[in-house]
A and B are shown apart, each in its own frame.
Chain A
Amino acid sequence: MKLRLSLFVVIISLPLLYISGAHLQDGQLSTWAIIFVTALCLWLLTPERNR
């Protein structure tokens, strides 16, 4: 389940990072997009419950 949700987050990260960084080149929006991916990474670093 954790992996499937992660995959979903990764998929929606592409438009978020692209629009904020490459397309609009907006520093504030880019920061939020990076925080979004950071949250995913920190979540992946937490141990899984069934371990």
Chain B
Amino acid sequence: MTLLRFLVAIAPVLALLGGILVLRWRAYRAAALAWLVAVAGAATVYGAGPVLIASASAKGLSLTLLVMLIVWSAVFLYTLAADLGAVDSIARRILDSSGDPLVLGLLLAWTFSGFMQGIAGFGVPVAIVAPLMVLAGHSPVRSIAAVMIGHSWAITFGSMGSSFFAVQLVTGVDGAALGPPLALLFILPIFFTGLSVAHIVAGWGGVRRALPLVAAASGLMGALMWALNLLGAAPVSSMLPGLLGSLFLWLVGRGRSTNTTVARIDQVTPRLSFGWAFLPYGLLTLLSLLAQVPAIKDAAAGVSFALGYPGLRTAQGFAVPAQEAYAPIRLVGHPAPLLLLSAVLTYLLYRRRGLWKPGAVDRARRATVRQSTGTTVGVALMVMMALVVTDSGMAAVLADAAEELGGSVYLVAAPFIGLLGAFVTGSNTNSNVMFGPLQLFASQALALSTLTIAAAQTLGGSIGSGVAPDKALIGASVLGGDVREGEVMRRALPYGLLGVLLIGLEVLAVSLLGFR
């Protein structure tokens, strides 16, 4: 019976993995199968009644609403900025910044791609930056692999912090408590991904030459990530460190020799100056920081939307506690209103300056719907599956099995679980939703810090999402020609696996030192 319960508990995750990896389905199809498998298992073996299954699935949709509002707004602002020529103007300014291929490679694939992840995500850094790497003189495979590993440090706090929000919601960890230590743990992955880019771009010689530069930039970026989390500004905690790192490398690289490949493509004058190009994201940063001012926070404290869920119990006695306000969407505190306000202010200021393009909003709206619909359906079904697995008691059974591993082994394994989820689904958010409940129960069963395990999950998910096959596919489809995804994966994956092993050891060390 115990083996049957374990097999039924792991079946939804296996259905999801099998659908994506073996049957090569798109994520939403595999997620549909996984929800069906979860519901069948919950009803037949775990004694979950229809009320509990419906309530758990509705909880999943509440969570989806919270996360996907961020995603839709972030994609809208990005597509609007791209339509207005802002993204092109920023990219050209960066290409013009240095003639040293190593510094330019780091600037593009490591810091600028991190900034792009901060504002957009969903493979946009690979789609935008990999062609720029090729223009800077690198081979297509090397370019895609460098951007894949290079932007992976920025994924958890990227896309306006959607993955960070997801891990909080499924593990119940407070964002204010998780953010600052998580940012400190990110300093090692930031440093490692920088050196990985240097290795891909210029081999071991490049690593030696880049070491002081990467160390200094990592320190600055990590410190800013930490400070922003202390201020409660998690949604801009990838965007601004990415921008700071880019600025640092731009200043360092300015005096270096001129590269002819780079100089040639800059003959086209960008549509916007850097200041005007950066305006939508400058406004967003300003609004995010204003939203943390106590007086504003207090004034808007009561303005939120959330559904309440009752306490329920399976026929086998597994109890689900009542939730008075599940996954609340706050007017001040949720990134979507800030993103939309930035778009409105951008419209007003661009129009006043004569920089506005007629029809931009409509084109951005259409592009947002095209880009986000499949993701939304996939995330909704996946999160519904995760909540059915949690509320029916399946995740608790999986956590009991994980207990057999022992605390130390589990601490090293936890980021690999995050990596696996992100690798399969191509998303740090999905990985956190899929494996967050398992990690929560395992941390309780093994008496480990839930905060540490939640951090390990999303750290592994961040790197795993960067080196996931969908990013290689995006890069290969953008660059076209003879680029093979398999070759890109072989180039990028070893860095991802080594990075996650280092994270596992970092988490183990932090835990052994007594930090909780």
Contacts and interface: CB of A to CB of B under 8 A. Distances in A.
Interface residues of A, number: 27
Contacts of B55: 17-18, 21-22, 25, 30
A44 B57 contact: no
Contact of B58 (A22, A31, A45): A22
B85 to A, nearest CB: 29
B36 A21 contact: no
B353 to A, nearest CB: 36
Interface in B222-258: none
A51 B55 CA distance: 35
A17 B45 CA distance: 22
A21 B58 contact: yes
Contacts of B33: 41, 45
Interface string B465-477: 0000000000000
Interface string B53-79: 111111101101100000000000000
Contacts of B310: 22, 25
Given A10-B376, A10-B380, A22-B308, A3 B54 contact: no
Contacts of A49: none
Interface string A25-51: 111101101100110111011000000
B167 to A, nearest CB: 22
Interface string B40-58: 0000000001111111111
Contacts of B53: 21, 30, 34
B373 interface: yes
A17 B53 CA distance: 9
A33 B60 CA distance: 14
A3 B57 contact: no
Given A14-B62, A27-B49, A38-B36, A33 B54 contact: yes
Nearest to B381: A41
Contact of B54 (A34, A41, A44): A34
Given A18-B307, A22-B58, A40 B52 contact: no
A17 B309 CA distance: 12
B28 interface: yes
Interface SS of B by simple majority: helix
A16 B384 CA distance: 14
A21 B49 CA distance: 10
Contacts of B376: 7, 10
Nearest to B312: A25
Nearest to B380: A10
Given A21-B52, A22-B307, A27-B49, A44 B61 contact: no
B199 interface: no
A30 B65 contact: no
Contacts of B147: none
Given A22-B309, A26-B51, A34-B53, A14 B65 contact: yes
Nearest to A25: B51
Contact of A17 (B54, B377, B381): B54
Contact of A6 (B36, B308, B309, B377): B377
A4 B373 contact: yes
Given A7-B373, A18-B307, A34 B28 contact: no
A7 B384 CA distance: 14
Nearest to B53: A34
B317 interface: no
A45 B374 contact: no
A39 B50 CA distance: 16
Contacts of B384: 37
Contacts of B308: 22
Interface in B182-204: none
B61 A45 contact: no
Nearest to A43: B32
A6 to B, nearest CB: 5
10 tightest A-B CB contacts, nearest first = A21-B54, A21-B55, A17-B58, A30-B54, A41-B32, A30-B50, A18-B58, A44-B32, A14-B61, A22-B55
Interface of A: 3-4, 6-7, 10, 13-14, 17-18, 20-22, 25-28, 30-31, 33-34, 37-38, 40-42, 44-45
22 contacts: A3-B377, A4-B369, A6-B377, A7-B373, A7-B377, A10-B61, A10-B380, A14-B58, A14-B62, A18-B61, A18-B62, A22-B54, A22-B308, A25-B51, A25-B310, A27-B49, A30-B53, A37-B35, A37-B57, A40-B32, A41-B36, A44-B28
